[in-house]
Amino acid sequence: MVNSVKVEAVEELQGIFSRAKSAVVANYQGIDAEGITALRVHMRSRSVDFRVVKNTLARRAVKGTSLEVLDGDFKGPVSILVGFDDVVAPAKALADFAKGDAVKSPEIICGVVEGKKVSSEEVLALAKLPSREELISQMLSVFQGPTTNFAGVFSSLLRKLVGTLDAIREKKEAG
């Protein structure tokens, strides 16, 4: 690569890395071109940026970003998956790809979540977490439970009061 091309590549990567909320470094060795293409399409559909980058360019690009803790992990044939909105998106997308009909999926080396380095086991644990929308839904249902119970109790008390008043009215009419 010509030096100016390398500088542009580093600047582009640094722009991507500076916006990243999370990233996963994975070894793509053993995946054929067709598999890499399928992986790229899968990641793009999940709003995850998948890149195979030269290690030296990646080391230079992570400097000054939240992904700087990955500096020593760019060794051998590695790719980086970057998430911008959802911190668990790269981990979930990679786990979904592995569950699919892919012949071989990338091997997770490590990851970064909001500036904190995580191991491959922690990345897999993140992939098993429910999505943000599911967590919000669960939280709202927890909040809704007491409200529903309160409404049921209040409704029951009103029914009892109406029943008692009705019994008093009937007693007065009869007596």
Is pLDDT at 46 greater than 70 in this prediction?
A: yes
Q: DSSP 3-state assignment of 32?
A: coil
How many helices (H) does the chain have, and how many strands (E)? 6, 5
Q: What is the pLDDT of residue 82?
A: 92
How does DSSP classify residue 131?
Answer: P
- Closest-CA residue to 25 (of 148, 108, 95): 108
How does DSSP classify residue 166?
Answer: H
- Tens of pLDDT, residue by residue over 71-109, are 888 888 899 999 988 888 888 888 888 887 777 888 888
Angle at 108 between CA 65 and CA 30, to 5 degrees: 120
User: How would you class 173 by CB atoms within 10 Å of its CB: exposed for 0-12, middle for 13-18, buried for 19 or more?
Assistant: exposed
- Copy the structure tokens of residue 4: 């100016």
Between 157 and 44, the higher pLDDT residue: 44
